[in-house]
Chain A
Amino acid sequence: MTLAQLAKGLRARDFSSVELVRGFLDRIEAHQPVLNAMISVTREPALAAAQAADQDLARDAGGPLTGLPIVHKDLFCTEGVRTTCGSRMLDNFVSPYDATVVAKLKSAGAVALGKSNMDEFAMGSSNETSFYGPVRNPWNTDLVPGGSSGGSAAAVAARLAPAATATDTGGSIRQPAALCGVTGVKPTYGRVSRYGMVAFASSLDQGGVIATTSEDAALVLREMAGFDPNDSTSVDIPVPDYVATLNEPLAGLRIGLLKEFFDKGLDRENEERVREALRVYQRLGATLREVSLPNLPLSVPAYYVVAPAECSSNLARFDGVRYGHRCKDPRDLMDLYKRSRGEGFGAEVKRRIMTGTYVLSAGYYDAYYLKAQKVRQLIAADFARAFKEVDVLMGPTTPTPAFAIGAKTEDPITMYLNDIYTIGANLAGLPGVSVPCGFVDGLPVGLQIVGPHFAEGKLLNAAHIYQRETDWHTRVPERFA
């Protein structure tokens, strides 16, 4: 059942929030040994919150999400609950406060079931860099779920929770959503507060949501989004009612086909599913035209300068002094820093910190960081030019369906190229959605829709109408049905 259906059921007293929450907690517990989608499960607090929600529901009080279960990516700080970010560094970290997203969803009535697994510090595209082990794809447990929000995507795909929060720095919402056959929304930079999100690359990070339908994503995003004085990059623009505009007709919608996305790296069958989805839009009265963004092929190299640079700066805070892992018996302060960080961070995080340290070091800053920020400007200008001609851009979310666990861990560049179609939107601060649009050999494939800044409503509308016409999003992997 979708979040929207569960909300109706709760209001109609078909079932209680306690029953609902207990049901999902039991599913989490039953499938954890196979999927490893969660890092922490907060059973007692969840049941207590559900009980309180039932009291609200009994007197027709509460918010739009009252009594509805949700899972938080373990990158959002949760007061009194361990927040690990998938890292040994934060294995024992209990957040002293709630992230704004967590607080907002709590006050809208949502009941948090626990914290989902993720790539360490959100650095990865397969959920294999987690200190807590890889998450498995519910469609085939030998395969990766994508990343970094792999736990959130797998949890929603296996119906361990109707919705989950997630974050997207280079594709970390859209890519796992595509590989797990669920709906993922990465909002415009600044739309959702970053306060209480453990920072990776601050000019790219953006919180969002993974759900089974666009309607559910709209329900959650409406509560998550909004201005926050605690985040200096939060934008003070009112949040539109994303649910109210879901059913607007698409006749006349101008769709741009991203030429650079239909390249030689795109799996043929994956492409075919995407083109079939485009034909559905045409049938609905939308028009299609090819659009070229000539600088887009440089988005992955630009990203792998900007993101590591910001990561090396953000992760400098983990010093073994104030919180996080500390090595045993440090000889002196330098030894304390170096060993605490060397032991606390995993291989990929160290690789990115070092990449960032190098590109920001004296003599290299202009050649790498400044150059990348200039290329980023070119990419943003390409998008801006395209949006003068079309309302939304469409293409594949990923080049291929899910791949085997271990298949790409040896070569970082191959792994980085998984995000080739998603990174552009992050560099330009644009919103993007991934919706399931079919299967290749039993594995889900995603259609990506990217819009101008603050066009979340249009993207959710386009995704919702598509989901009224198709049933890909209703498919559940057999063993989790």
Chain B
Amino acid sequence: MALTREQIENIAHLARLQLQSTELPVYQRSLSAIFDFVGELDRADTANVTPMAHPLPGLSQRLRADVVTETDRHEINQANAPQVAAGLYLVPKVIE
């Protein structure tokens, strides 16, 4: 399966990745090869197979009671943020 340059640009946009123009042909080649490779899955007869939902048979995701379990740690958490003011994360203007 050969992906076009436009398809790669679209995938990169959906993934929110800025690619350099030199990267595009590299990904065009390698992603095309990867989709050829995973195309081997078509060989398997999966007509009556339920897709796996959990690696351990019979188990599913556990739920917990909807109660507050964490204390306010926003200061320490925000210590890693690139830009913060008054306890808020700053981003470029979104609404004109």
- Tell me the A residues contacting B by CB distance below 8 Å: 92-94, 96, 188-190, 203-204, 229, 232-233, 235, 295, 298, 300-302, 304-305, 312, 316, 319-324, 326, 330-339, 341-343, 345, 347, 350-351, 353-355, 357-359, 361, 368, 370-378, 380, 384, 411-413, 416, 427-429, 453
Q: Which residues of A contact B61 (CB under 8 A)?
A: 232-233
- What are 5 A-B pairs at a CB distance below 8 A? A341-B18, A371-B41, A372-B38, A374-B50, A413-B34
A88 to chain B, nearest CB (A): 14
CA distance in complex: A326, B12 (Å): 18
CA distance in complex: A281, B31 (Å): 43
Q: Are A295 and B44 in contact (CB under 8 A)?
A: yes
Is the contact region of chain A dominated by helix, strand, or loop, or is it mixed? helix
User: Which 3 A-B pairs have CB atoms at the shortest separation, nearest pair first?
Assistant: A429-B55, A342-B18, A373-B51
CA distance in complex: A305, B34 (Å): 9
State which of A203, A316, A320, A377 has its C-beta within 8 Å of the C-beta of B49: A377
A448 to chain B, nearest CB (A): 18
State which of A322, A357, A428 has its C-beta within 8 Å of the C-beta of B15: A357
Is the contact region of chain B dominated by helix, strand, or loop, or is it mixed? loop
Q: Are B80 and A354 in contact (CB under 8 A)?
A: no
State which of B44, B49, B55, B92 has its C-beta within 8 Å of the C-beta of A332: B92
Q: Are A322 and B11 in contact (CB under 8 A)?
A: no
A382 to chain B, nearest CB (A): 11
Q: Which residues of A contact B82 (CB under 8 A)?
A: 320-321, 323-324, 326
Most chain A CB within a 10 A radius of its CB, from B11, B17, B61: B17
CA distance in complex: A342, B27 (Å): 13
Chain A residue at minimal CB-CB distance from B45: A378
Given contacts A323-B80, A350-B27, A413-B37, 14 further A-B pairs with CB under 8 A are A301-B39, A323-B82, A330-B91, A351-B34, A353-B17, A354-B17, A354-B27, A358-B11, A370-B51, A373-B51, A375-B44, A377-B50, A378-B44, A412-B33
Chain B residue at minimal CB-CB distance from A412: B30
Contact A355/B34 with A322-B80, A332-B92, A373-B52 known, Cβ cut-off 8 Å: yes
Chain A residue at minimal CB-CB distance from B38: A301
